[in-house]
Structure 1
Amino acid sequence: MSQVKIYGLRSHLTPIKSQLSDIIHSCVVDALHYPIDKRFHRFFPLEPDDYYYPSGERTERYTIIELSMFEGRTVAAKKQLIRLLFDRLDKEFGISNLDLEITIFETAKHNWGIRGLPGDELSLSYKVNV
């Protein structure tokens, strides 16, 4: 399981939301061997008075990506995901490394509730331990 939250200025996120979701999902699929049909993305477009970040260091493209997922992925897989996100978002949208922050939150499966069950009781169609 992996859920993604994307934060940024409304003026920046709204025009690229669909394509940004596609690129983020491609990174998750490639790095974590995640099923192509499992996409859980939520966008949080913010007005300038709701989004403070360091002036001079960041631009209006400043974007925060938070990924919540079952624990079990290797350090190598998570680092690969981070590298792919930095690379692809810079190439596709010009979101520089200074304008992108990524956080991965891992939680034990039993702390998730999905389809009426605790996560550790689910039958998944994909591997988590990659």
Structure 2
Amino acid sequence: MIVIYGIKEHLNPIKAQLSDVIHSCMHSVLGLPEDKRAQRFIPLDADDFYYPEGRTAAYTVIEINMMQGRTVATKKALIKALFQQIELQVGILPIDIEITIKEQPAHCWGFRGMTGDEARDLKYNVNV
């Protein structure tokens, strides 16, 4: 699950493009299948979104929730790919992007009526 926050006037016009870029990075770095897109966009009023000094109104926060298992190198590669591809394809500078990866053990995930540690039919590998 990925949650993306930004000021609505800046986030809404680029949602589809940003979604594609994020999913492309998840696919290329983590090996997620093309049909495994779980994203939520939270467009905020400017007065509801405080961000650090030195950033612009394009400031965007990306929270990536995933099961534990990826290596440090893989997570760093994902973050760097996101910075690079979002700047290249969407035009948001890295200074205006904040990325957080939140990991939970597989038993803390629930989907399709089971917990993540019970799933034996995932079409991707978590331990990469």
| TM-score using structure 2 length | 0.96
2:17–2:90: 8 Å Cα contact kept in structure 1? no
2:66–2:104: 8 Å Cα contact kept in structure 1? yes
Instruction: Report the alpha carbon displacement of residue 64 of structure 1 after superposing the two structures with TM.
Output: 0.3
Which residue pairs with 1:31 in the alignment?
29
CA RMSD of aligned residues (A): 0.8
Which residue pairs with 2:61 in the alignment?
64
Instruction: Report the alpha carbon displacement of residue 110 of structure 1 after superposing the two structures with TM.
Output: 0.3
Deviations 1:82-126 (A, max 9, x none): 001000111112211110000000100001111111110012121
User: Aligned to 2:33, what secondary structure does the other structure show?
Assistant: coil
Aligned identity (percent) is 54
Moved over 6 A (4+): none
Instruction: Report the alpha carbon displacement of residue 54 of structure 1 after superposing the two structures with TM.
Output: 2.5
Return 5+ residue gaps in structure 2 as ranges: none
The answer to whether residue 37 in structure 2 is matched with residue 46 in structure 1 is no
User: Aligned to 1:54, what secondary structure does the other structure show?
Assistant: coil
Instruction: Report the alpha carbon displacement of residue 74 of structure 1 after superposing the two structures with TM.
Output: 0.9
The answer to whether residue 6 in structure 2 is matched with residue 17 in structure 1 is no
Instruction: Report the alpha carbon displacement of residue 75 of structure 1 after superposing the two structures with TM.
Output: 0.9
**Aligned partners of 2:126 and 2:6: how far apart in 1?**
29
**Aligned partners of 1:53 and 1:128: how far apart in 2?**
32
Deviations 1:42-91 (A, max 9, x none): 00000011001124x00011000000001000111111100010001111
Return 5+ residue gaps in structure 1 as ranges: none
Aligned length: 127
**Aligned partners of 2:11 and 2:110: how far apart in 1?**
29
